[in-house]
Amino acid sequence: MTTSTPKIIRGDEIEGFDRWELPLVDEPSPAATEAAAAPPGPTVRELEELQQVAYEEGFAAGRAAGFEQGREEGRAEGRKEGHAEGYAQGREEGFAAGEREARELVERMRRILDALAAPARQLDDEVEQALSRLAMTLARQIIHHELTVQPAEILTLVRRTVAMLPLAEREVRIHLHPDDASFLRQALAGSDEAASWRLVEDASLARGGCRVVSGSSRIDASLEHRLALLAEQLLSARSGEDEDAADAVVDDEAAGETDGEVAE
């Protein structure tokens, strides 16, 4: 068994040291002093109250935040819907206003065009009336000339007019200008027509025309009536009519006038 020799540290070998002293047992330690000075912890009731307060504060804060978010979202949605509704309403009102303005513009243009066209229409009417009067004057002169050169034309007219009567008609009265009636009496002397026709002198009729009456039938082939129909055809500007001015009028009128009462 070996014996170890304790190591001895000399004083010049020690660089630094702390002096240690035994603590006093009758003085409290700093840890004990701090523990004694610390306040007591919260009780269970206090913890529950704190938890309830925290819950209520959190609920109130969350509710306020939710309301604020909902208000902002509702405001944004309202603005969006209001914009869409306002846009649609404005668009519809804009279309309606544009349509009204277009109608008013068209109406103004129509009035302007009517005002511009009125003198032209008046001039056209005056020209048509002048042409109608000229045509009737020429027709009257031509018929008068034809009767002077060829008085037998009145006989042709009377025969064509009588031929348009219904076959059952027997008594035929022919109203003529006195000069035409005198000519027919001479031309029909001794004929069957002279026996069946009754010539009636009528000074109100112009030469070259007649009115034929038989029973309930009546045909107006007077010169005045034929010229009036001719003027109507000229004013209405009918196209495609190549009929003779006098003879065609007799045909048209005879087809339409075959009834009515006539007083001598």
- Which of residues 151 and 32 earns the better pLDDT score? 151
Q: Once rounded to an integer, what is the mean pLDDT over residues 58-79? A: 74
The interaxial angle of helices 44-149 and 223-235, nearest 10 deg, is 140
pLDDT computed for residue 122 by the predictor: 62
Domain ranges in the chain? Answer: 49-121, 150-256
pLDDT computed for residue 264 by the predictor: 39
| Architecture category of domain 150-256 in CATH | 2-Layer Sandwich (3.30)
Q: What distances in angstroms separate CA 263 from CA 122, 173, 175, 226, 231, one per listed residue?
A: 41, 11, 12, 21, 27
Cβ atoms within 10 Å of 139's Cβ, excluding its own: 19
Which range has the top average pLDDT, 50-59, 78-87, 209-218? Answer: 209-218
- Model confidence at 175, pLDDT cuts 50, 70, 90, reads very high
Over the chain, what is the mean pLDDT?
A: 70
pTM to 2 decimal places: 0.40
Q: Own/partner pairs for 180-186, CB < 8 Å, 24+ apart?
A: 180/147, 180/154, 180/207, 180/208, 180/210, 183/151, 183/154, 183/155, 184/154, 184/155, 184/158
Assess whether pLDDT exceeds 80 at residue 200.
yes
pLDDT computed for residue 27 by the predictor: 54
- Which of residues 216 and 5 earns the better pLDDT score? 216
3-state SS class at 164: coil
Q: Could you tell me what percent of the chain has a pLDDT over 70? A: 52
Cβ atoms within 10 Å of 1's Cβ, excluding its own: 2
- Which of residues 142 and 244 earns the better pLDDT score? 142
pLDDT computed for residue 174 by the predictor: 92
Q: What is the pLDDT of residues 132-168, one digit of tens each?
A: 666 666 666 666 656 555 667 788 888 888 888 887 6
Q: What is the number of alpha carbons within 13 Å of residue 149 lying toward its C-beta?
A: 5
Q: What is the pLDDT of residues 48-65, one digit of tens each?
A: 777 777 777 777 777 777
In sign, the C-alpha dihedral spanning 140, 145, 147, 150 is negative
Q: How far apart are CA 18 and CA 11, in angstroms?
A: 14
The amino acid present at 204, given as its one-letter code, is S
Quick one: 210 exposed, middle or buried, by C-beta within 10 A (0-12, 13-18, 19+)? Answer: buried
pLDDT computed for residue 99 by the predictor: 76
- Cα torsion 142, 143, 145, 151 to 10°: value is 160
